[in-house]
């Protein structure tokens, strides 16, 4: 049985920066430990699980933020995250959220928010079709990022 640590004062802002009691956490080993221990519970709350203890953390948007995007030789994309890791972008998971923020889903199932820089970089490869849809080509396939027929967001 796991014990909840009371008074956990850890938070992540919308830029993916970690804080303890409103002071930014910058130590690489601490951040790596927290990222590796991060999980989402059945109710969608983020928590850090270390051994038999866990604490819920406040996450302003998503814990992961795409810092940059790169197109591979095969035409697919990889995304570089704020935790220093990279992974293949799943174009099927791309969606535009509130305030036109771009999101995707990571291989671990968690959502990732694109930084403005990464969003604009990927947007350079997007194409607006005659019907108004916005499409991204990746690995020889086209993916609709925004449909003109979608309800207003």
Q: Residues 46-98: pLDDT tens digits?
A: 999 999 999 999 999 999 999 999 999 998 999 999 999 999 999 999 999 99
pLDDT at 153: 44
Rounded Cα gap, residues 3 and 37, in angstroms: 15
State phi, psi for 35 to the nearest 5 degrees.
-60, -45
Rounded Cα gap, residues 68 and 73, in angstroms: 17
Q: Note the pTM of the prediction, 2 decimals.
A: 0.85
Q: How far is CA 20 from CA 7, 15, 24, in A?
A: 11, 15, 6
| Domains along the sequence of the chain with CATH | 3-59 (3.10.540.10), 64-141 (2.30.270)
Of 109 and 80, which is predicted with more confidence? 80
Rounded Cα gap, residues 20 and 151, in angstroms: 39
Rounded Cα gap, residues 139 and 72, in angstroms: 9
111 beta partners: 105
Residue 77 near residue 71 (C-beta atoms within 8 A): yes
Q: Reduce the DSSP state of residue 123 to 3 states and report it.
A: helix
pLDDT grade, residue 7 (50/70/90)?
low
């Amino acid at each position: 049985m796991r014990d909840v640590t009371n008074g956990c004062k850890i938070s992540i802002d919308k830029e993916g920066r970690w804080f303890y009691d409103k002071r930014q956490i910058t130590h690489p080993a601490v951040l790596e430990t927290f990222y590796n221990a991060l999980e989402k519970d059945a109710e969608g709350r983020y928590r850090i699980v270390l051994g038999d203890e866990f604490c819920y953390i406040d996450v302003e948007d998503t814990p992961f933020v795409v810092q940059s995007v790169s197109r591979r030789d095969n035409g697919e994309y990889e995304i570089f995250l704020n935790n220093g890791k990279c992974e293949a972008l799943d174009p099927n998971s791309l969606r535009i959220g509130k305030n036109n923020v771009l999101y995707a889903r990571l291989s671990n199932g968690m959502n990732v928010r694109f930084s403005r820089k990464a969003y604009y970089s990927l947007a350079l490869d997007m194409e607006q079709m005659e019907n108004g849809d916005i499409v991204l080509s990746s690995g020889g396939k086209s993916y609709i990022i925004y449909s003109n027929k979608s309800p207003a967001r």
